[in-house]
């Protein structure tokens, strides 16, 4: 078992190294951005001697660098799983060209994570303070359409880039859906299906656009068959900007709700509960009731005691104390 674990970790490490390109100067960054094409590029600018955690720049002992090491581990997991994201690493320690590039990029605190699309900086996160793990993952989800386990957001949320795309989305109808954990499939008549368009922007997006996006993905997955979701990035193209203007959206994120092809409501903001309540209000008003969650089968006391006994023996054989 130990050998299998070591083999798995070695395989994961190799995968991270394979997925991460180390750069050391401006020319290599330009080359990597050009080769990435339409993919998201995430650039980690790091220092082995400094870890900024929001209040002070730390240096020295391993204990003080713990936050950065933990964040690097999170980034490694994302790098393993996000196939359509290009990961770059710039280590500024001991490299004059690398330090000069960091300065050119306006980076003075480490680590800094920059997100690029089409060669243009979209967003950056500075430091390894509280919430950094979630923020860098939200950035990859929002800009790279990739979540845990390599999940693609486009499986659940349609990309809308023009008036024709919106028309097609509103005319569509979600088929019956099997959702894990529910006692029956979700089946809702087309005219009672809620269609929601998330209108956001990419460049210098307000924090709320990214903060609420994981909730949108979760809602899209859990209400499939009753609710359809789309996303319009208003600054992605001239057509997208024109559509955003025609929808009279002046604040992002804004969620425009449609039923049977007509707008029925909208919500501007990034409160996850407020958005979910809007969806539930529509469903209640239209008599849409989702199937109940399946009840977990209750184990007998005898079965539970046997499992606990086996767990105690396993821990004892491994020389560990057991909480069973």
Q: What are 237-259's pLDDT values in tens digits?
A: 999 999 999 999 999 999 999 99
Q: Residues 131, 136, 138, 140: what is their CA dihedral angle, to the nearest 10 degrees?
A: -170
Tokens describing residue 212: 């609420």
Beta strands 157-160 and 227-233: pairing type?
parallel
What are the tens digits of pLDDT across the range 256-272? 999 999 999 999 999 99
pLDDT (tens digit per residue) in 129-141: 888 999 999 999 9
| 89/20 Cα distance (integer angstroms) | 7
User: Please, which pLDDT band fits residue 7 given cuts at 50, 70 and 90?
Assistant: low
What sign has the CA pseudo-torsion 301, 304, 309, 315? negative
**pLDDT over 70 percentage in the chain:** 90
Q: Tell me how far the alpha carbon of residue 65 is from its chain's centroid.
A: 25
What number of other Cβ atoms are within 10 A of residue 65's Cβ?
20
Both tokens assigned to 15: 């995968």
Strand partners, 123: 115
What number is the average pLDDT over the span 34-38? 94
Q: At residue 95, does pLDDT exceed 90?
A: no
Quote the strand ranges of the chain, DSSP E: 20-23, 40-46, 51-52, 57-58, 85-91, 112-117, 120-126, 157-160, 194-200, 227-233, 254-259, 262-268
The pLDDT tens digits for 41-76 are 999 999 988 888 866 555 555 655 788 888 888 888
CB atoms under 10 Å from CB of 263, counted, come to: 14
Angle subtended by helix axes 66-81 and 2-19, to nearest 10: 80
Secondary structure (3-state) at 127: coil
**Largest alpha-carbon pair distance within the chain?**
68
pLDDT at 2 over 80: no
- Round to whole Å and give the CA distance between 179 and 272: 21
Reported as a pLDDT band with limits 50, 70 and 90, residue 187 is confident
- For 159-195, the DSSP string reads EE-SHHHHHHHHH--PPPB--TTBSS-B---GGG-EE
Four-CA torsion 222, 224, 225, 226, nearest 10 degrees = 70
Task: Give the C-alpha separation, 65 to 59, whole Å.
Answer: 7
């Amino acid at each position: 078992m130990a050998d299998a674990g070591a083999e798995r970790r070695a395989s994961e490490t190799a995968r991270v190294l394979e997925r991460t390109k180390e750069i050391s100067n401006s020319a290599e960054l330009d080359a990597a951005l050009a080769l990435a094409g339409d993919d998201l590029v995430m650039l980690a600018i790091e220092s082995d001697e400094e870890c900024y955690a929001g209040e002070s720049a730390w240096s020295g002992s391993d204990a003080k660098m713990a936050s950065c090491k933990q964040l690097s581990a999170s980034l490694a997991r994302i790098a393993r799983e996000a196939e359509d994201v290009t990961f770059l690493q710039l280590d500024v320690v001991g490299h004059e060209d690398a330090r000069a590039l960091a300065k050119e990029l306006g980076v003075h605190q480490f680590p800094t994570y920059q997100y690029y699309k089409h060669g243009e900086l979209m967003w950056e996160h500075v430091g390894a303070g509280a919430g950094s793990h979630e923020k860098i993952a939200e950035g990859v989800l929002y800009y790279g359409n990739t979540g845990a386990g390599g999940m693609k957001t486009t499986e659940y949320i349609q990309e809308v880039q023009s008036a024709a795309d919106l028309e097609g989305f509103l005319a569509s109808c979600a088929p019956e859906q099997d959702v894990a954990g529910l006692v029956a499939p979700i089946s809702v008549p087309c005219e009672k299906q809620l269609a929601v368009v998330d209108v956001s922007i990419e460049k210098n997006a307000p924090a709320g656009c990214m903060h609420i996006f994981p909730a949108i993905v979760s809602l899209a997955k859990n209400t499939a068959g009753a609710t359809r979701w789309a996303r319009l990035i208003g600054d992605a193209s001239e057509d997208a900007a024109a559509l955003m203007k025609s929808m009279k959206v002046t604040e992002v994120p804004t969620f425009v709700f449609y039923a049977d092809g007509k707008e029925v409501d909208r919500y501007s903001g990034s409160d996850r509960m407020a958005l979910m309540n809007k969806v539930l209000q529509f469903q209640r008003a239209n008599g849409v009731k989702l199937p109940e969650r399946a009840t977990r089968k209750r184990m007998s006391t005898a079965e539970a005691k046997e499992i606990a006994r086996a767990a105690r023996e396993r821990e004892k054989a491994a020389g560990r104390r057991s909480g069973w």
